Chains A and B, each alone.
Chain A
Amino acid sequence: MQTLAPTQRETVLRVVAAHRTRPGALIEILHGLQAELGFIPPAAVPVLAQELNLSRAEVHGVVSFYHYFRHSAPGQQTLRVCQAESCQAMGADGLTEHVKKTLGIGFHETTPDGKFSLEPVYCLGNCACSPAVMRNEDVFGRVTPERFNELLAQWKRGE
């Protein structure tokens, strides 16, 4: 297994220290780690286990259970396209195909230039404005392929 870079180790210990006294802290810690590092490095698992007095299997079990936690670094921006029923009723399938084709990647992949990661998501609670897309933490509603192209151009410009 890869070892944890010293800066990453420092981050892990700092995040653990910030949350360790809270009941049921592991998921909060994982959120904290992913917010800082962008993902949960597999090499962080034994460190977390050691710090929290859990087994590696327990920590790995939690990390791998939740779709949100990543095992590898994401692109600079993460796009999530809603796949749930309401969005399907408004053309999410076609939009998804368009997004994949435009970016040249599938779900759980990152563009070769490292700019965009693409993930499926199952409901953003924006069902009255379907289909919905999320970019990092911003939600976009009524996203037609045309609107996606406009948004993508903005995102590429860094807006």
Chain B
Amino acid sequence: MSTIDIYVPRDSGALSLGAEEVAQAISAEAKKRNVDIRVIRNGSRGMYWLEPLVEVATAGGRVGYGPVTVKDVPQLFDAHFHTGGKHALSHGVVEEIPFLKSQQRLTFQRVGVIDPVSVQEYVANGGYQGLRAALAMKQADVVQAVLDSGLRGRGGAAFPTGIKWKTVLDQNTPQKYITCNADEGDSGTFADRMLMEGDPLSLIEGMTIAGLAVGATQGYIYLRCEYPHANQVLKEAIAAAYQARYLGADVMGSGRRFDLEVRLGAGAYICGEETSMLESLEGKRGEVRVRPPLPAIKGLFGQPTIVNNVITFASVPCILAKGAAFYRDYGVGKSRGTLPFQLAGNVKHGGLVERAFGLTLKELLYDYGGGSATGRPIRTVQVGGPLGAFIPASQFEVVAGYEELSAIGALLGHGGIVAFDDTVDMAKMARYAMEFCAIESCGKCTPCRIGSVRGVEVIDRIMAGVDTEHNLKLLEDLCETMLQGSLCGLGGMTPFPVTSALKHFSEDFRGRGARH
């Protein structure tokens, strides 16, 4: 009998639930039983309620078992799971699981499927076709393809990627840089991490295409230090790409150079803001820069620089391989292509859903998410991280697109959706938003640095029931000042969660405490 391939994720979410121990137990048990297997460490499929999800390659497809614990392993062998045998933990063929089957995975097409650091598997699964296509095109045509695809920055700001690239292409300087913002600090978002741990070569390919397209020879991935597993996988993948000559002095035999390295952040949320990230890459305090000049004109070390998010870069190979029209045909309105939505917080089936824009929050939360984890009603969701608005259940019919969310005073951001059940105290959440801003403010703008501290104090008084109406008015004034008087999104957007909580859940702020 030939060797059986068994997949156990090395994704840190799966590892956080014991995947490493499960992988070791499977290897040990197979040895004991004299079963010829090969354990492959893949990324996660993004169905975290099933992690650790062990997959077995069979003639009929990959059969999944999960969530697997170490003590399940002997029983799984008893049930002949290694030939796809039936077991209580079996979910049948993984790609037939409705959560996954109904998705449209373009950017995440290989995540969870392949060994993330194998160039060979990457290429066998459609990898490097985008770069191959780009190498046969003129630089301006590559940029045009990205523009035509309608791709917008997936980090949250949703700026058209092609315009940014064109600006850098148009700069006539010898040194330009490609930088990837992998400082995924928004709570409820993990798409970047999953991609870097599950298919890092797609990010590397996307950055390489960007480098060739605009004439940059050096790329940096600015990775948050809270992601040590992603760091490890990225480093292995970059080394493998150099080895196979997809990076370095002679990319794919084209005679053109592109070098790439990972730089670690150091636990500052603000460094996810692009100018702060550039300061940090230069080895300085991550203080926000005044724009203009835009980074595309004067960025890293004063040179023209592309700053894009992980998912933005990782979406580019597909666009080049299959054409701008292919990508653009997904989506609604001005939100083109697909977005990896992330379901997090109090949700039964947390995980990653890559779909064309056009789904409503309700579909995401209930059809995919299965409602709350606690079984209580979902009262609100926060979309787009700690600077995103709280959206009440009465607005869950909204389409999760950039303009659609913006129209109700919310934002899509990086596509993270954090669900809260009806036990949530919205005054406490508003207080946390201010507290977080106070902790993470870079200190440059007074409304952010001091306003956030004052915000915590005012909300404390509201929560204690002290002079409520006056303090609510004060809080609204303060939010207005922060909104208008901050250079970047931290101070400028912290008011969003606060004012949305006030607007939709005013009952949580009024009539509190002993004194009135």
Chain B, range 189-218, C-beta contacts under 8 Å to A = 189-190, 192-193
- B280 contacts the other chain (Cβ, under 8 Å)? yes
- Residue from the list A31, A85, A122, A129 in contact with B266, Cβ < 8 A: A31
In angstroms, Cα B51 to Cα A89, docked, is 20
In angstroms, Cα B288 to Cα A65, docked, is 13
Q: Which of B2-10, B32-40, B221-229, B503-511 contacts A (4 or more CB under 8 A)?
A: B221-229
- A128 contacts the other chain (Cβ, under 8 Å)? yes
Find out whether the CB atom of A130 lies under 8 angstroms from the CB atom of B345.
yes
In angstroms, Cα B16 to Cα A124, docked, is 11
Distance in angstroms from A53 CB to nearest chain B CB is 12
Q: Which of A9-17, A108-116, A136-144 contacts B (4 or more CB under 8 A)?
A: A136-144
- Residue from the list B228, B266, B416 in contact with A127, Cβ < 8 A: B416
Find out whether the CB atom of B189 lies under 8 angstroms from the CB atom of A127.
yes
- B119 contacts the other chain (Cβ, under 8 Å)? no
Find out whether the CB atom of A123 lies under 8 angstroms from the CB atom of B185.
yes
**A24 partner residues in chain B, CB cutoff 8 A:** 263, 281-284, 301
- B69 contacts the other chain (Cβ, under 8 Å)? no
Given the known interface contacts A90-B373, A129-B51, the answer about A139 and B12 at a Cβ–Cβ threshold of 8 Å is yes
Find out whether the CB atom of A127 lies under 8 angstroms from the CB atom of B344.
yes
Find out whether the CB atom of A125 lies under 8 angstroms from the CB atom of B12.
yes
- A5 contacts the other chain (Cβ, under 8 Å)? no
In angstroms, Cα B423 to Cα A90, docked, is 11
In angstroms, Cα B439 to Cα A7, docked, is 35
Which residue from chain A places its CB closest to the CB of B230 in the assembled complex?
A125
Which residue from chain B places its CB closest to the CB of A139 in the assembled complex?
B16
Distance in angstroms from B284 CB to nearest chain A CB is 6
Which residue from chain A places its CB closest to the CB of B232 in the assembled complex?
A137
Distance in angstroms from B516 CB to nearest chain A CB is 26
Find out whether the CB atom of A86 lies under 8 angstroms from the CB atom of B225.
no
- B418 contacts the other chain (Cβ, under 8 Å)? yes
How many B residues have CB within 8 A of the partner chain? Answer: 63
Q: What sequence of 0s and 1s flags, for each residue 246-271 of chain B, a beta carbon within 8 Å of any chain A beta carbon?
A: 00000000000000000111111100
**B382 partner residues in chain A, CB cutoff 8 A:** 85
In angstroms, Cα B351 to Cα A128, docked, is 6
- A153 contacts the other chain (Cβ, under 8 Å)? no
- B188 contacts the other chain (Cβ, under 8 Å)? yes
Given the known interface contacts A129-B13, A139-B12, the answer about A69 and B266 at a Cβ–Cβ threshold of 8 Å is yes
Find out whether the CB atom of B263 lies under 8 angstroms from the CB atom of A85.
no
In angstroms, Cα B285 to Cα A86, docked, is 28
- Residue from the list B46, B285, B346 in contact with A65, Cβ < 8 A: B285
Find out whether the CB atom of B188 lies under 8 angstroms from the CB atom of A85.
yes
- B360 contacts the other chain (Cβ, under 8 Å)? no
In angstroms, Cα B363 to Cα A134, docked, is 32
Distance in angstroms from B60 CB to nearest chain A CB is 28
Chain A, range 123-159, C-beta contacts under 8 Å to B = 123-130, 132, 134, 137-142
In angstroms, Cα B285 to Cα A61, docked, is 7
Q: Output the residue of A25, A61, A130 with the most chain B CB within 10 A.
A: A130
In angstroms, Cα B429 to Cα A88, docked, is 9
Find out whether the CB atom of B440 lies under 8 angstroms from the CB atom of A129.
no
Given the known interface contacts A27-B266, A89-B418, A125-B227, the answer about A132 and B286 at a Cβ–Cβ threshold of 8 Å is no
Distance in angstroms from A64 CB to nearest chain B CB is 9
In angstroms, Cα B419 to Cα A130, docked, is 11
- A4 contacts the other chain (Cβ, under 8 Å)? no
- Residue from the list B15, B284, B432 in contact with A139, Cβ < 8 A: B15
Given the known interface contacts A85-B432, A140-B16, the answer about A128 and B344 at a Cβ–Cβ threshold of 8 Å is yes
- B65 contacts the other chain (Cβ, under 8 Å)? no
Find out whether the CB atom of A67 lies under 8 angstroms from the CB atom of B268.
yes
- A37 contacts the other chain (Cβ, under 8 Å)? no
Q: Output the residue of A61, A66, A90, A128 with the most chain B CB within 10 A.
A: A128
- A47 contacts the other chain (Cβ, under 8 Å)? no
In angstroms, Cα B381 to Cα A89, docked, is 10
**A137 partner residues in chain B, CB cutoff 8 A:** 228-229
**B228 partner residues in chain A, CB cutoff 8 A:** 137
Which residue from chain A places its CB closest to the CB of B440 in the assembled complex?
A122
Distance in angstroms from B51 CB to nearest chain A CB is 7
Find out whether the CB atom of B263 lies under 8 angstroms from the CB atom of A122.
no
Find out whether the CB atom of A86 lies under 8 angstroms from the CB atom of B188.
yes
- A118 contacts the other chain (Cβ, under 8 Å)? no
Find out whether the CB atom of A127 lies under 8 angstroms from the CB atom of B184.
no
Given the known interface contacts A62-B283, A66-B266, A128-B342, the answer about A141 and B424 at a Cβ–Cβ threshold of 8 Å is no
**A31 partner residues in chain B, CB cutoff 8 A:** 225, 264, 266
- B495 contacts the other chain (Cβ, under 8 Å)? no
Given the known interface contacts A27-B263, A122-B187, the answer about A85 and B15 at a Cβ–Cβ threshold of 8 Å is no
- Residue from the list A23, A25, A27, A129 in contact with B350, Cβ < 8 A: A129
Chain A, range 70-125, C-beta contacts under 8 Å to B = 84-90, 121-125
Which residue from chain A places its CB closest to the CB of B350 in the assembled complex?
A128
Chain B, range 13-28, C-beta contacts under 8 Å to A = 13, 15-17
**A85 partner residues in chain B, CB cutoff 8 A:** 187-188, 345, 382, 386, 418, 429, 432
**A121 partner residues in chain B, CB cutoff 8 A:** 226, 267
Find out whether the CB atom of A84 lies under 8 angstroms from the CB atom of B16.
no
**B225 partner residues in chain A, CB cutoff 8 A:** 31, 68
- B186 contacts the other chain (Cβ, under 8 Å)? yes
Which residue from chain B places its CB closest to the CB of A124 in the assembled complex?
B226
Given contacts A26-B283, A129-B51, 14 further A-B contacts (CB under 8 A): A66-B266, A66-B267, A68-B266, A85-B188, A89-B419, A89-B420, A89-B424, A90-B345, A123-B184, A125-B193, A126-B12, A130-B344, A141-B13, A141-B48
Chain A positions within 8 Å of B, measured between CB atoms, are 23-28, 30-31, 58, 61-62, 65-69, 84-90, 121-130, 132, 134, 137-142
